[in-house]
């Protein structure tokens, strides 16, 4: 129930959170103290735990044990020097070589939009039109700022 998109320059995300059928507004992407970008899809309390792990140097020994759950883990991305690093169930990143990436329930819409030349922000806006679980505005962060 999220859309996070990366176009090689900008990381963008919708702001909708849903809790017990109540729509709320929150931020899902962040700039870490070293300048890297972070975004996550899933249970926000666990996403924030992953953000703290990334903020503190991504030491494999400090990887949150809750993230290792084979059935209940969060999708987390860290943009390091313009390269997307995907973290799922282990502290070892999956690095895709594609120009753009998206995750969350609006992923397919966003990927199609970026394939057609839209920016990450525009791709999130497109996803918000078609995926009813996405919305409440868009945040965006540029790697170079």
Residue 24 lies in a domain: yes
Q: Is beta strand 4-6 parallel, antiparallel or unpaired with respect to 75-80? A: unpaired
- Look at residue 71 in the predicted model and tell me its pLDDT: 81
DSSP letter assigned to residue 107:
H
pLDDT of 58 higher than 90:
yes
Q: How confident is the model at residue 85 (pLDDT cuts 50, 70, 90)?
A: very high
- Look at residue 64 in the predicted model and tell me its pLDDT: 95
Q: Quick check: helix, strand or coil at residue 118?
A: coil
Which two tokens mark 122?
């525009």
- Assess contact for 5 and 114: CB atoms under 8 A: yes
- Assess contact for 7 and 114: CB atoms under 8 A: yes
Residue 46 lies in a domain: yes
Beta bridge partners of 19: 22
Residue 83 lies in a domain: yes
Q: pLDDT tens for residues 98-133?
A: 999 999 999 999 999 999 999 999 999 999 999 999
Residue 111 lies in a domain: yes
Domain containing residue 12: CATH number: 3.60.20.10
Count of domains for the chain: 1
Residue 106 lies in a domain: yes
Residue 15 lies in a domain: yes
- Look at residue 134 in the predicted model and tell me its pLDDT: 95
What domain range is 96 assigned to? 4-133
Q: Could you tell me the end-to-end alpha-carbon distance of the chain, in angstroms, rounded to an integer?
A: 28
pLDDT of 25 higher than 90:
yes
Residue 142 lies in a domain: no
Residue 139 lies in a domain: no
Q: How many helices (H) and strands (E) does the chain have?
A: 3, 11
Q: How confident is the model at residue 6 (pLDDT cuts 50, 70, 90)?
A: very high
């Amino acid at each position: 129930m999220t859309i996070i998109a990366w176009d090689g320059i900008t990381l963008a995300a919708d702001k909708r959170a849903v809790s017990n059928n109540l729509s709320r507004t929150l931020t899902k992407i962040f700039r870490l103290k070293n300048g890297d970008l972070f975004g996550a899809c899933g249970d926000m309390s666990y996403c924030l735990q992953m953000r703290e792990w990334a903020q503190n140097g991504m030491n494999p020994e400090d990887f949150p044990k809750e993230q290792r759950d084979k059935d209940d883990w969060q999708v987390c991305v860290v943009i390091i020097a313009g390269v997307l690093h995907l973290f799922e169930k282990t502290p070892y990143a999956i690095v895709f070589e594609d120009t753009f990436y998206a995750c969350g329930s609006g992923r397919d819409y966003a990927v199609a939009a970026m394939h057609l030349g839209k920016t990450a922000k525009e791709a999130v806006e497109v996803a918000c039109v078609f995926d009813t679980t996405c919305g409440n505005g868009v945040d965006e962060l540029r790697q170079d700022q």
